[in-house]
A = this chain, B = another copy of it.
Amino acid sequence: MLLRATPPHTFTHTLHATSDPQPLRVWICSQRARSVKMPSYSWLLALYLAALTGNTDGAVARESTERNCSSTPPYLPSTAVNTSLQLEELRVQMRGMNISAYIIPATDAHLSEYIAPRDARLAFMTGFTGSAGTAVVTLNKAALWTDSRYWVQAERQMDCNWELEKDVSISSVAQWLISEVPKGDEIGFDPFLFSLKTQEDYNINLESSDRSLKSITENLVDKVWKERPSVPPDSLTRLPDRVIQRTWQEKVEHIRTQMGDSPYKPTGLLLSALDETAWLFNMRGNDIPYNPFFYSYTLLTMDEIWLFLHMERVTEELKVYLNASCEGALCVQLKGYDTILDHLKNYVTRPGVKVWIGTEYTNYALYEVITPQDKLLTSSYSPVLTTKAVKDETEQQILRDAHVRDAVAVIQFLMWLEKTVPEGNQTELTAAEYVDKCRSKQKDSRGPSFGTISASGPNAALAHYSPSKETNRRLTVDEMYLVDSGGQYLDGTTDITRTVHWGKPTEMQKEAFTRVLMGNIEISRTIFPSGTRGVNMEMLGRRALWEVGLNYGHGTGHGVGNYFGVHEWPVGFQSNNIPFRAGMFTSIEPGYYKENDFGIRIEDVAVVVPVQTKYGNNYLTFDTVSLVPYDRKLIDTSLLSSEQLHFLNKYYETIRSMVGPELDNQGLREEKDWMLRNTEPFAEIGSSASVSSSSLTLIALAVALLHNIV
């Protein structure tokens, strides 16, 4: 049901920019804008339908499904939402605040990648439910900016109160604001929903225009959203001991050590991203679909801990667990979620304090109260995020374990498809349901980790595709099928993509698939010094494609959490990701997409592990923890190097040794056979070893014959 917001698909401009090689900045101070690189946290919950583009049987003609605001009377499809009332009420609020425009972003106060329904303000105001966009309301106009993936959807969902704007840069929004807002007037925004960079970008673009931003901490949309979903009442939970190596007390001490070691001597650390607090206290919640997070902030000082959350959700048992009845260095003082700003303001007035924030996940509301500047210490990521990025031994082991069970589910699913697709009754949607069902039967399952991408034929060529009633395709032996899915388990989060063909693939499909696989293998088997950045290696995922003029328009991988977000930054292959260290988990997911035809992606999760080299120390490589075979009929082994073939065979051996026993345990005999069939070793012809041996046979034959003659 959720569009999967895949940052890898959105942060590849480094490699693929075809425009000006260097960004132009109008004023020197605008260079500050370059200093903070944000992962994509402005993704909105898609409440209803997903991307409606695509050439499908179910799609109706465009004239009737999209609005036409220039006809008389304007034409609106049945999917359009009447937004007159909420606009009218918002404008009342705006007049009350004396602002001429109000900006509505698509994220939450934690700059989350996925958001909860109660944060879907953009959808409430506009009717548009795509995962990315910005809305601006003036006293007499309203406009939505969204990217090309969502233009059709926006035309179907919005009424004629709204303009659709297509250049999604902040400078484009600002230009529109300058043309619509009278000189001297103010433009309101909710600083909780702005990153530092967003605020800075608007500021730069409005500078010297005589229009200024006005930070309004009470969200105006919330004031008019009468049926806004409330915070879920569910109690928060702590992780069981069996999935924990470090207690929260140990984590706190470890982070404090890092604070103490900093030459800048921070006295406090502010944690804003939802997984920061959840990680620190080994706790989970259920506030965000697919993500076991709960609304929270933490202010950790050298001798106190303040945890801001919805206190009614904290059980007595949890209070004991958190040592919540005292105020010492290892006591967690529970504070109301909404009191963070006041507490932070208060803390900053103390003499000699300095608050450390990670700029990528701190909202502008919290940032702006940390003044003067010498009370602020910034890094891109907080020490919690960089510490969390390296999994401890327990986390590594349980994440591997979860992947074994996940492999069982995916193998079950793939075998089922192989059997039932030829019968003609399966569709993208039934397949997506079935893979979820397979996972749900596995131990410690906690549901999918994102909305399954189940895409057949041309639908798979849309990297962000997710099936809907309108776009649903029947699965057939004539089309390739791509399934990108993952599970949440109490002990780990998984994410895997396989692409299959149940009939006879074309030569081009086989070549493209094989080259995508070569990319996956080349990254997986590469050896590199500890501290190498993913962005410096990710071309290995593309090189075999580049050789024949193919490529893909998304990133090559992202960190993965332990029962956490399926995209766990800052690990990965993006330019703003941190260097690889042993113990990090990342996806590796090259692909190839042929428009209106097919899509290929081969995604595995791998852990960074130390490797012994001939001469040097401190070298690393990847160990693949996703354990599902690739579709054999799509592999053209003649394209593989002997090293690649060898790697593939070793991987298949690992699948047999790791997943085989689990299939046995679960009594899945048919699946075991399917797995064994699909992990048969490939003949390593072409490798020098096998060549020699075949030559030797011939020599032996020749010699034998000579003997006969003699």
Residue of B nearest to A619 (CB): B549
Question: A21 on the interface (CB 8 Å rule)?
Answer: yes
Given the known inter-chain contacts A17-B579, A548-B615, A709-B709, please indicate yes or no for A24 contacting B531, CB distance below 8 A.
Answer: no
Chain B residues near A641 (CB, 8 Å)? 641
Question: In the complex, how many angstroms separate the beta carbon of A488 from the nearest chain B beta carbon?
Answer: 27
On whether the beta carbons of B578 and A15 are closer than 8 Å, the reply is no
How does the 8 Å CB contact mask read for A559-592 relative to B, with 1 for contact and 0 for none? 0000000000000000000110000000000000
On whether the beta carbons of B546 and A619 are closer than 8 Å, the reply is yes
Q: Which residue, A22, A381, A527, A537, has most C-beta atoms of chain B within 10 A?
A: A22
Q: Which of B23, B367, B529, B546 contacts A16 (CB 8 A)?
A: B529
Residue of B nearest to A375 (CB): B27
Question: A26 on the interface (CB 8 Å rule)?
Answer: yes
Question: A62 on the interface (CB 8 Å rule)?
Answer: no
On whether the beta carbons of B24 and A379 are closer than 8 Å, the reply is yes
How does the 8 Å CB contact mask read for A600-630 relative to B, with 1 for contact and 0 for none? 0000000000000111110100000000000
Question: A25 on the interface (CB 8 Å rule)?
Answer: yes
Question: A702 on the interface (CB 8 Å rule)?
Answer: yes
Question: A698 on the interface (CB 8 Å rule)?
Answer: yes
Segment among A30-38, A279-287, A396-404 that sits at the interface with chain B: A30-38
A528–B549 Cα distance when bound, in Å, is: 8
Q: Which of B535, B537, B547, B698 contacts A699 (CB 8 A)?
A: B698
Residue of B nearest to A543 (CB): B526
Q: Which of B21, B26, B705 contacts A579 (CB 8 A)?
A: B21
Q: Which of B34, B380, B530, B706 contacts A705 (CB 8 A)?
A: B706
Chain B residues near A688 (CB, 8 Å)? 686
On whether the beta carbons of A527 and B546 are closer than 8 Å, the reply is yes
Copies in the complex: 2
Question: In the complex, how many angstroms separate the beta carbon of A572 from the nearest chain B beta carbon?
Answer: 13
| Interfacial residues of chain A within 324-343, with CB under 8 A of chain B in the complex | none
Given the known inter-chain contacts A374-B208, A376-B27, A701-B702, please indicate yes or no for A549 contacting B22, CB distance below 8 A.
Answer: no
Given the known inter-chain contacts A15-B536, A377-B26, A386-B22, please indicate yes or no for A546 contacting B529, CB distance below 8 A.
Answer: yes
| Interfacial residues of chain A within 679-703, with CB under 8 A of chain B in the complex | 686, 688, 691, 694-695, 698-699, 701-702
Q: Which of B378, B530, B546, B695 contacts A694 (CB 8 A)?
A: B695
Question: A406 on the interface (CB 8 Å rule)?
Answer: no
On whether the beta carbons of A25 and B551 are closer than 8 Å, the reply is no
A263–B376 Cα distance when bound, in Å, is: 36
On whether the beta carbons of B578 and A25 are closer than 8 Å, the reply is no
Chain B residues near A373 (CB, 8 Å)? 27-29, 207-208
A30–B22 Cα distance when bound, in Å, is: 21
Question: In the complex, how many angstroms separate the beta carbon of A212 from the nearest chain B beta carbon?
Answer: 16
Report A's interface with B, CB cutoff 8 A: 14-18, 21-36, 196, 207-208, 262-264, 359, 367, 373-374, 376-381, 386, 526-533, 535-540, 543, 546-551, 578-579, 613-617, 619, 641, 686, 688, 691, 694-695, 698-699, 701-702, 705-706, 708-709
30 contacts between A and B (CB under 8 A): A15-B533, A16-B531, A18-B531, A22-B379, A24-B264, A24-B378, A25-B377, A25-B379, A26-B376, A27-B374, A28-B367, A31-B359, A31-B378, A35-B35, A527-B543, A527-B547, A527-B549, A536-B539, A539-B539, A548-B614, A548-B616, A549-B613, A549-B615, A549-B617, A641-B641, A686-B688, A694-B695, A695-B698, A698-B698, A701-B702
